[in-house]
């Protein structure tokens, strides 16, 4: 797995997201909020990176790209809505565990659709250099969503993405656009 290929990076994030779902599920009550914030952060950064970098390209370059990408965006929006509500409700909400299981199922199925229907064709339609250039944006955003932030490290906390999913996505979008040399 190459860390400078945008598809490899996104596939790695899919695995990390599944791992974070495990962590939230298994976290002791006093650690649940922090574990959930890590999940919110990585999910927000991951989906934003796909929406900024991969989906627009796939829409233009792959067969039935419009259809494939519209389906992925609908799934992402549904997950975003769930995530937003869960963040608002907090981890102590009586339905948190049920909602987490529902979100997990939706997110995993969405990732499988990308891995089956979008990424392989996207890889075929792009050159190594293009995918390396696109990896820059994903890495810049990922740096703001460490899955295990070091407590007390000033620089990390200063740049850490916190807050509701929509705010994190806005921040991530700016970071990605800057990294890719586009105007925000
Ligand atoms: Fe996605
Ligand atoms: Fe994804």
- This prediction has a pTM of 0.91
| Residues 44, 59: Cα–Cα separation, whole Å | 21
| Residues 51, 43: Cα–Cα separation, whole Å | 12
Ligand 2 centre and the CA of 33: distance in Å? 23
Query: Which residues are CB-neighbours of 120 under 8 A, at least 6 positions away?
Result: none
Ligand 1 centre and the CA of 53: distance in Å? 11
| Residues 159, 163: Cα–Cα separation, whole Å | 13
Task: Tell me which ligand sits closest to the C-alpha of residue 7.
Answer: 2
pLDDT in tens, 138-167: 999 998 887 776 665 545 545 667 788 999
Alpha helices, H only, 50-164:
55-61, 65-89, 96-113, 119-125, 128-142, 154-159
Task: Tell me which ligand sits closest to the C-alpha of residue 10.
Answer: 2
Ligand 1 centre and the CA of 110: distance in Å? 6
pLDDT in tens, 88-120: 999 999 999 999 999 999 999 999 999 999 999
| Residues 97, 181: Cα–Cα separation, whole Å | 41
Task: Tell me which ligand sits closest to the C-alpha of residue 72.
Answer: 1
Ligand 1 centre and the CA of 152: distance in Å? 31
Q: Classify 181 in phi/psi space as left (phi over 0), alpha (psi -120 to 50) or beta.
A: left
Ligand 2 centre and the CA of 61: distance in Å? 18
Task: Tell me which ligand sits closest to the C-alpha of residue 119.
Answer: 2
**Angle of CA points 23, 82, 59, to nearest 5°:** 100
pLDDT at 23 over 90: yes
| Residues 50, 55: Cα–Cα separation, whole Å | 6
pLDDT at 183 over 90: no
Structure confidence at residue 15 as a pLDDT band (50, 70, 90): very high
CA 117 to chain CA mean position, Å: 18
Ligand 2 centre and the CA of 182: distance in Å? 22
Answer whether 111's CB lies under 8 Å from 145's CB: no
Answer whether 6's CB lies under 8 Å from 134's CB: yes
Structure confidence at residue 184 as a pLDDT band (50, 70, 90): very low
Max CA-CA distance within the chain?
48
Ligand 2 centre and the CA of 46: distance in Å? 6
Answer whether 37's CB lies under 8 Å from 162's CB: yes
């Amino acid at each position: 797995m190459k860390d400078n290929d945008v598809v490899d990076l996104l596939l790695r994030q899919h695995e990390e997201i599944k791992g974070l779902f495990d962590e939230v599920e298994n976290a002791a009550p006093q650690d649940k909020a922090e574990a959930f914030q890590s999940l919110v952060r990585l999910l927000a950064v991951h989906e934003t990176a796909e929406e900024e970098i991969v989906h627009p390209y796939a829409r233009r370059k792959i067969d039935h790209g419009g259809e494939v990408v519209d389906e992925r965006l609908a799934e992402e929006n549904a997950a975003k809505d769930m995530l937003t509500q869960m963040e608002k409700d907090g981890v102590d909400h009586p339905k948190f565990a049920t909602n987490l299981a529902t979100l997990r199922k939706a997110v995993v199925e969405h990732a499988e659709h990308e891995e089956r229907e979008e990424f392989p064709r996207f890889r075929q339609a792009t050159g190594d250099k293009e995918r390396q250039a696109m990896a820059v944006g994903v890495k810049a955003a990922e740096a703001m969503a460490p899955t295990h932030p070091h407590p007390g490290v000033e620089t990390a906390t200063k740049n850490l993405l916190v807050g509701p999913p929509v705010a994190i996505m806005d921040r991530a979008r700016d970071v990605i656009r800057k990294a890719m040399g586009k105007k925000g």
